[in-house]
């Protein structure tokens, strides 16, 4: 008997629904560039102004510690890595965001799929994402999203799974598109 067998189906459904709603709220806030607002006593990504309650109860995505400077890649560093083809660049935005525009050479691995993707066997990863699987020893793994929030979360996930040399591009696609002059395919 597994842990899942001991839980009522309705509880599992409620938990999954809550997680999906939370993910949708965080992704929407990130895409809109919203700053965390205080809703009641806890921070939430709901778009409300600070001090204004919105009535939505969410749990925020909060990093234990902000990424250290050596875990962050600048625009200039990423541009040099791409030009020398010495980067494994993973875009953790949703597929529709990726299709609307992305950094050339990036592989789309949505944040919600990242844990499973990083645990895949190399052959399975290559079959699903059409690139070589990253290795825990690789120093050239870089995550990015729209504005840096989801990629910071991706970085925390990767570090937790043993990819301790991974980094993230905090400027995200928003900075890249602005500096490069528009969407890239």
The span from the CA of 124 to the CA of 112, in Å, is: 18
Residue 104 DSSP code: T
User: Which of these is catalytic: 27, 39, 46, 145?
Assistant: 145
Residues 6+ apart with CB under 8 A from 162: 136
Distance of CA 147 to the CA centre of its chain: 10
State yes or no: is 145 an active-site residue.
Answer: yes
Strands 72-73 and 167-169: parallel
Q: Supply 33's token pair.
A: 């560039």
> Active-site residues: which are they?
145
């Amino acid at each position: 008997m597994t842990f899942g067998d001991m839980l009522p189906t309705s509880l599992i459904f409620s938990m999954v629904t809550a997680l999906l709603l939370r993910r949708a709220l965080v992704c929407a806030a990130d895409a809109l560039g919203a700053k965390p607002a205080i809703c009641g006593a806890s921070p939430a990504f709901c778009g409300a102004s600070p001090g204004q309650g919105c009535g939505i109860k969410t749990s925020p995505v909060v990093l234990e510690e902000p990424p250290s400077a050596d875990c962050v890649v600048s625009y200039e560093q990423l541009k040099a890595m791409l030009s020398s083809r010495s980067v494994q660049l993973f875009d953790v935005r949703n597929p529709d965001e990726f299709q609307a525009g992305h950094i050339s050479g990036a592989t789309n691995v949505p944040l919600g799929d990242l844990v499973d993707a990083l645990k895949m066997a190399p052959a399975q990863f290559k079959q699903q994402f059409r690139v070589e699987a990253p290795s825990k020893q690789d120093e050239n793994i870089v995550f990015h999203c729209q504005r840096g929030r989801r990629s910071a979360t991706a970085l925390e996930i990767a570090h937790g799974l043993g990819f301790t040399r991974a980094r993230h591009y905090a400027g995200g696609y928003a900075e890249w598109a602005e500096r490069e002059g528009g969407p890239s395919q």
